Amino acid sequence: MQTLTTQSEWIDRARAVLPAAGFGNFDPDIVIARGDGSHVWDEDGNEYIDYLIGSGPMLLGHGHPEVLEAVLEQLPKGMTFFANNAKGIELAEAIVDAVPCCEHVRFVASGGEADMYAIRLARAYTGRTKILKFEGGYHGMSAEAQMSLAPSTRVNFPQAVPDSAGIPQGVADQVLIAPYNDLAAVEALLNENDDIAAIIAEPLQRIIPAAAGYLQGLRDLCDKYSVLLIFDEIVTGFRLAYGGAQERYGVTPDICTLGKIIGGGFPLAAVGASGEIMQHFDKSIVGADKWLMQLGTLSGNPIAAAAGLKTMEILRRKGSYARLRAIGKNLQDMQSKALTNAGVPHQICGDETLFDIFFTKAACRDYRSAKHDEPALNTAYNATLRKHGVFKSPGKLYPSLAITEADLEQTRDAVLEAVRSTFLD
């Protein structure tokens, strides 16, 4: 009889073949075996309520029966073609119908790839080279995106600090860094630099909300200085609202990127904009000099498109977003109440659909202020949550529509224990 491989054995096998024993995404000391609905199980059979949800795409939970049915219907028809397919075209139509800035979309396989093309597209359209991004803003793994993503040392703005080895200094010279939620800093940079192609921003920067009027202020400044505004909606698209942050906040960028939810759990992302901007993907219109080459083996994959289409159809149903927000508000309130009762200073930072807690009295306004007074307390708090069956990122909690009342009760018990053991013992 074959012996089942334990989690520790899988971890040993990972150490032998994977740098740092992992995929580079998450804690390599846990190996997930399966997911179903709102729960995941590790290779030792330990069960968790899943608030990581694949870093965002599983908004309906794992193995949603209608999404599985759509995927299984497509599978025997073909898994990928490198050519146009009906599901991909239908998904493009659904995105254009939903997202205000999108008249055309172009598919890619990952959010980071979409952000890379959005930056390149802005440069092609404007003929300028510099990009303004915000300290702490995450836009994938391209060289430009790796500027001041998580700098460990503070430098003066607008100096860009690379967060990875292997990036030439020339890249840093083309990226300007500003603090989030500071319109005066942005305008100063726009006033001093006439070669900025675009501002790229997360409308909800990781979990830091835009201050009142900030996103509209960015829109107004971009119009004033003839600069393109890019919204990275990889996370916020179809999460904050069906039309994403653009619908939720009423601000329309020139270009946006989408991912995670539009693939229904499969690798798929997109860049979208007006027809005028997107024509740079069409050599017959703009000519060879202004043409933006873009190829991708799995772009517009019909399996991912089928899963995304069904996911989006379910999200359009009455009450979906109200329920998602109610779940998120419940999760926020239960933690805030427990921490307040224990006399623990804290800030709930984010949106009901995506948030976390900072153990601090300070308001969370930008990368430098959004931090724990004592990071070790956050580590201990999250470790206790996991020990009691709550699976989440150390810095982010994703509610999903699969969360049940029983899940919320178990989470509440885990929170009370985490607060007790971290702050009161």
Beta-sheet strands, E only, within 336-395? 347-351, 354-358, 390-391
HSE-CB at 354 with a 13 A cutoff on CA atoms is 24
DSSP symbol at 279: G
Question: Cβ contacts of residue 386 below 8 Å, gap of 6+?
Answer: 48, 392
Count of beta carbons in the 10 Å neighbourhood of residue 98? 21
Beta bridge partners of 390: 49
Decide: 252 and 215 in contact? Cβ < 8 Å.
Answer: no
Task: Write out the two tokens for 108.
Answer: 């890619």
Backbone dihedral region of 289: left (phi > 0), alpha (psi from -120 to 50 degrees) or beta? Answer: alpha
Phi and psi of 414, rounded to 5°? -65, -40
32-36 and 39-42 as β-strands: parallel, antiparallel, unpaired? Answer: antiparallel
Decide: 230 and 78 in contact? Cβ < 8 Å.
Answer: no
Element (H, E) at 40: strand 39-42
Decide: 34 and 61 in contact? Cβ < 8 Å.
Answer: no
The residues assigned a catalytic role are 138, 232, 260
Count of beta carbons in the 10 Å neighbourhood of residue 423? 17
Count of beta carbons in the 10 Å neighbourhood of residue 125? 23
Beta bridge partners of 272: 105, 256
Cα–Cα distances (Å) from 35 to 28, 40, 41, 236, 326, in that order, read: 17, 4, 6, 23, 23
Beta bridge partners of 421: none
What is the Cα–Cα distance from 60 to 219, expressed in whole angstroms? 32
